[in-house]
Chain A
């Protein structure tokens, strides 16, 4: 489809924050140049972390608290003597039902405008609950043993500061092949479905669109040439039951029971101070006739 000029000029409606935006990565057009990684680091002023895994083309083995997007490289098995590179631009998916938001005890992670999952670093206490709660390994807290002040969670913000001001995310505007598209989520899903059909007709029978229903709907969509697992993406990821139970059953029920218990103690005190006058039991005052 080449450069889709329409996406470049698309802007969310500033008067309608309920509109859901999304990024769509057409992985069939990604050349693995990592321009998006650099743009992300630069715009968000994240420190450079040199940690290339030997034997791969990946700049970083995984995301970390200061590395919010990474192009993951996967090599397919050779077919007719040829193998193929599959590239996945990995970052926070901005889930509709997000594990991280469910796990965060301090409201630092929230569901924000435009469907973006926002992270308020000021409010983050670095507990790290969000890390294992994310099915995509997309949010991280630096691990230091005692220097805890340094620990803050970090993840892709979907450049909320840019899109709220009518700009495109940094990675989107820098991508030389325009394989990262940013726009209205529904429109992008329609576009992605069309693109999948086109790719199938071009001889990629496994082409598929990822992110429409996963975790209640992702705000990061992928046109993939192969099944998701070939890109290291989880198939049917889901919100942990334990976490949901913890958040929506244990916490409210526990708080309610504690409150009820406290109320019961007050009632008991009101009755007991009349029964046990001067701290004496009816047995001591002779009031207990059946003694």
Chain B
């Protein structure tokens, strides 16, 4: 079987915009936040990129970090205001983690490496998307909460609260960046799953890929008559 043409609409323009708004703020935050991890031997002089990131450069990066933080915190508005209709159904599906999702999580690592195994039919979001979303959802609040404590609470919150915020912020970073790396890998690098990237570029996904990776969703949309399907690949003119 070769690749057939034809694609299905997966995301609205507002959802795509929200994704990239959030994603770019996240990347800026991660990069500027990395200054805080540049610490080698505490008794030796700063090494590597360290000295570059410190002093007034570091202070400027801190300012950029805060501006990006405001952007990140505001980004859900793009979805909420831009495409309110899709918010509830999508969130409902994202938060429903069933047996198929669990199966998917167990089989996917092997399948995406060796092609062996049979992935259970997935909805609009597969088990991996859901787990990714949970981490994003939770860290959105832990990042914002702990960040605000450190931004505005210095001197007024207790020392223990400040240290906890510091810990939670870093923990969120490690959790979030692990998922981030995996997410970028699967959607931009992995030879098979990167076929899903177009859905987050112009909203359209290859129908054949969708039938493989989101069979349950495609069937449901067709059954209900709500599927938006067109001829031609996802990268076609129609935007």
Beyond A143-B154, A254-B174, A275-B115, is A240–B159 a contact (Cβ under 8 Å)? yes
Indicate whether B171 reaches chain A with its CB closer than 8 angstroms. Answer: yes
Q: Does A2 contact B (CB under 8 A)?
A: no
The answer to whether A123 touches B192 (Cβ under 8 A) is no
B35 interface contact, C-beta 8 A = yes
Question: Which has the most chain B C-beta neighbours within 10 Å: A250, A258, A265, A281?
Answer: A281
Interface membership of A80, Cβ < 8 A: no
Per-residue interface assignment for chain A, residues 274 to 285, with 1 indicating a CB less than 8 Å from any chain B CB and 0 otherwise: 011111111111
* B98 part of interface (Cβ distance < 8 Å): no
Contact B54 A268 (CB under 8 A): no
- Give CA–CA (A278, B45) in the complex, Å: 49
Q: Are B36 and A126 in contact (CB under 8 A)?
A: no
In the complex, B160 has a CB within 8 A of chain A? yes
User: Would you call A245 an interface residue if the criterion is a C-beta within 8 Å of the partner chain's C-beta atoms?
Assistant: yes
Tell me which residues from 52 to 111 in chain B have a Cβ below 8 Å from any Cβ of chain A. Answer: 53-56, 58-63
B residues adjacent to A (C-beta < 8 A): 1-3, 35-40, 42-43, 45-46, 50-51, 53-56, 58-63, 112-116, 118, 150, 154-155, 159-160, 162-164, 166-167, 170-171, 173-174, 177-178, 181-182, 185, 189-192, 194-195, 208, 212
Q: How many residue pairs bridge A and B at CB < 8 Å? A: 164
Residues of B near A101 (CB, < 8 A) are: 42
Structural contact, B177 and A258, CB atoms closer than 8 A: yes
CA distance A106 to B115 in the complex (A): 45
What residue of chain B has the Cβ atom nearest to residue A277's Cβ? B191
The 9 closest A-B pairs by CB, nearest first: A125-B58, A254-B174, A105-B36, A276-B192, A275-B115, A132-B162, A282-B115, A132-B159, A242-B163
- Least Cβ distance of B131 to chain A in Å? 14
Residues of A within 8 A of B38 (CB): 105-107
Residue in B59, B60, B113, B154 whose CB lies within 8 Å of A275 = B113
Provide the residues of chain A in CB contact with B181, threshold 8 Å.
258, 261-262, 265
Within the assembled complex, what's the spacing in Å between the Cα atoms of A281 and B193?
A: 9
Pairwise interchain contact A124-B62, C-beta atoms closer than 8 A:
no
A133 and B115 contacting across the interface, CB-CB below 8 Å? no
Query: In the complex, how many angstroms separate the beta carbon of A106 from the nearest chain B beta carbon?
Result: 5
CB of A12 closer than 8 Å to a CB of B: no
- Chain A nearest CB, measured from B159 CB (Å): 4
Given the contacts A107-B40, A261-B182, A271-B113, A125 and B170 also touching, CB distance less than 8 Å: no
Query: Which residues of A come within 8 Å of B, CB atoms?
Result: 101, 103-108, 110-111, 122-129, 131-133, 143, 146, 148-149, 151, 240, 242-243, 245-246, 250-251, 254-255, 257-258, 261-262, 265, 268-269, 271-273, 275-288, 290-291
> Complex: how many Å from CA A170 to CA B63?
36
A-B contacts, 15 of them at CB < 8 A, read A104-B39, A106-B50, A110-B42, A127-B36, A132-B154, A132-B159, A132-B162, A149-B59, A151-B59, A250-B174, A254-B173, A257-B178, A265-B189, A276-B115, A276-B190
A111 CA to B112 CA in the complex, in Å?
A: 49
- A105-B39 in contact (CB<8A): yes
Assembly CA distance A67 to B60 (angstroms): 25
Taking CB atoms, residues of chain B closer than 8 Å to A124 are: 54-55
* Best-buried of A105, A108, A275 by chain B (most CB within 10 Å): A105
A105 to B63 alpha-carbon distance, docked (Å): 16
Alpha-carbon separation in the docked complex, A248 to B113 (Å): 34
Whether A143 lies near B155 (C-beta < 8 A) is: yes
Min CB distance, A263 to chain B, in Å? Answer: 11
Report if A286-B1 is in contact (Cβ < 8 Å); known contacts: A110-B42, A268-B113. Answer: yes
Bound: A207/B212 CA distance, A? 80
Q: Let me know if B45 and A127 touch, CB within 8 A.
A: no
B3 touches A123 (CB 8 A): no
Select which of A106, A149, A261, A281 is within 8 A of B212 by beta carbon. A281
The answer for the CA separation of A108 and B150 in the assembled complex, in Å, is 19
Q: Chain B residues with Cβ under 8 A from A148's Cβ?
A: 59, 62-63
What's the minimum C-beta distance from A276 to chain B, rounded to whole angstroms? 4
Which B residues touch A278, using CB under 8 A? 191
Report if A105-B35 is in contact (Cβ < 8 Å); known contacts: A268-B190, A269-B190: yes
User: CA A105 – CA B167 in complex, angstroms?
Assistant: 13
| CB contact under 8 A between A284 and B170, given known A107-B40, A258-B181, A279-B191 | no
Complex interface: chain B residues within 8 A of A246 (CB): 163, 166-167, 170
> Shortest beta-carbon distance, A132 to chain B, in Å?
4
When A122-B55, A272-B191 are in contact, do A251 and B182 touch as well, CB less than 8 Å?
Answer: no
Nearest B residue to A285 via CB reads B1
* Set B112, B115, B154, B170: member contacting A251, Cβ < 8 A: B170
Residues of the B chain whose Cβ atoms lie less than 8 Å from the Cβ of A128: 150, 154
Report the minimal beta-carbon distance from B30 to chain A, rounded to whole angstroms.
11
| With contact pairs A106-B53, A258-B177, A279-B191 given, residues A111 and B46 touching in the complex (Cβ less than 8 Å) | no
